[in-house]
Amino acid sequence: MKDLQGKVAVVTGASEGIGKGIAGALAKAGAKVAILARSQDKLDATATELVGEVKGFSANLMDADDVRRVLADVVTYFGEIDILVNNVGGGTFKPLHMQTAAEADLPVGIPLTAAVAASHAVVPSMVDRRQGHIVTLTSPAGYVPFPYMMPYAATRHAMVGLALSLHDELKEHNVGSTLFCPAQVNTGYFDRNDADMGWYPRVSGVFPVLEPDDVGEQVVKSIKANKREVIYPLSLNLFLRTYQKMPRLSVLFLKLFGVWRPNPTR
């Protein structure tokens, strides 16, 4: 999809952070952008701040029926959806025995419920029109089973499967699917969530911290180039590809240099 001018795009979890950066980049590229999150007030503020045609739609993204309802509202307002960005996510980082039931359930409900329901809602029209693109975000935890974040890592692995499965299923219909994995992004995530940075893998410090607008620009590029999979930046790509080829040796290497385990603060 080389030209995004006038295309209808949906970004989940887009009132702030990565989603806001992606929505802004899509709007700058000429797309009409529907941003989805729970808080209508935050969505309205974001829509006002971004340059371009952007409208917020409040949704409970942990409720599949509500996701489908809101996407129907988007179609009524903007027209058929051409681009879906499965971005919404959440979760805490700590040993499983220290997590509450709500903390263990949240990373499963978000992003997987929203991504499956949203993809299911938009794909029939994309296939009928032989036009469309779905971007699904994951994290390095979707490739490497880091300890102390089991529900989060499990769901991020599921997002990898979702995106790559869709790619092979949809390509014969001229519909694209991109798996997008950025390094850590400067979103204030650890300030807004009960996610103790002390339990985060120390190896994350090896890679540059990205800005949301940078991620947004790379997502737009991946749509225009119809990329199957993007791991950004290059240093993270090399690390994850090495791990995929030699997982045991990679973990041994990380342990040797003391960056496999985190440094918990509590």
Residue numbers annotated as active site: 152
Question: Is the dihedral angle over the CA atoms 156, 236, 211, 103 positive or is it negative?
Answer: positive
Structure tokens at 190: 């650890």
Neighbours of 95 (CB within 10 A): 12
- 158-167: long-range contacts, CB 8 A cutoff, minimum separation 24: 158/112, 159/86, 159/111, 159/112, 159/115, 162/86, 162/112, 162/115, 162/116, 162/119, 162/136, 163/134, 163/136, 163/138, 163/229, 164/228, 164/229, 166/119, 166/123, 166/134, 166/136, 167/228
- 109: Cβ contacts below 8 Å, ≥ 6 apart: 62
- Residue 114 to residue 89: CA distance in whole angstroms: 9
**Number of helices (H), then strands (E), in the chain:** 10, 7
Q: How far apart are CA 226 and CA 258, in angstroms?
A: 38
Joined tokens for residue 235: 């240093």
